[in-house]
């Protein structure tokens, strides 16, 4: 059965933003961070939307709809918390470590060049 619902421009924009992340040139670790953030934006949007509809349903005395929307809201909140936990427990730290390793790799050639240049006194040695 085909949905007859109207498509939502906001959701379409969130999906496009998430799809565009792949073209940003992020490291795989940073892409994971960005994708989790994008997924959380979607969850927050859903929580706001379902929360509003739930409030309307309650005001109209639609008890069955309120019950279903409560279940849906709990699922959305649980997913947001799960994404948050994944980010905080693993993904963010992994991205920081990867960025630090990349920074170190970029500094290594400079150190190697200094070493190859011989025993020139360091700037620190000049001060002593």
Q: Give the residue with the Cβ less far from Fe ion, 26 or 45.
A: 45
Q: How many helices (H) and strands (E) does the chain have?
A: 5, 0
Task: Give dist(CA 32, CA 39) in Å, integer.
Answer: 10
Which residue's CB is nearer to Fe ion, number 33 or number 83? Answer: 83
- Least distance to Fe ion, CB of residue 25, Å: 28
Q: Which is nearer to Fe ion, 32 or 46 (CB)?
A: 46
Contacts of residue 17, Cβ cutoff 8 Å, sequence gap at least 6 = 38, 41
Q: How far is the CB of 43 from Fe ion (least distance, A)?
A: 5
Taking the complex as a whole, the smallest distance from the CB of residue 112 to Fe ion amounts, in Å, to 49
- Provide the 3-class DSSP secondary structure of residue 127: helix
- At its nearest, how many Å lie between Fe ion and the CB of residue 86? 15
Task: Report d(CA 53, CA 42) in Å as an integer.
Answer: 16
Binding region for Fe ion (CB under 5 A): 43, 46, 76
- Our CB check for Fe ion shows the closer of 20 and 74 to be 74
């Amino acid at each position: 059965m085909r949905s007859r619902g109207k498509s939502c421009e906001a959701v379409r924009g969130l999906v496009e933003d998430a799809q565009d992340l792949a073209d940003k040139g992020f490291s795989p670790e940073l892409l994971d961070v960005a994708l989790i953030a994008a997924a959380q934006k979607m969850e927050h949007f859903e929580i706001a939307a379902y929360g509003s509809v739930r409030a309307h349903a309650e005001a109209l005395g639609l008890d069955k709809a309120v019950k279903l929307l409560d279940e849906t809201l709990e699922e959305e909140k649980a997913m947001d918390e799960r994404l948050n936990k994944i980010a905080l427990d693993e993904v963010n730290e992994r991205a920081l470590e990867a960025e630090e390793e990349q920074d170190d790799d970029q500094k290594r050639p400079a150190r190697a060049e200094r070493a190859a240049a011989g025993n020139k006194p360091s700037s620190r040695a000049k001060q002593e």
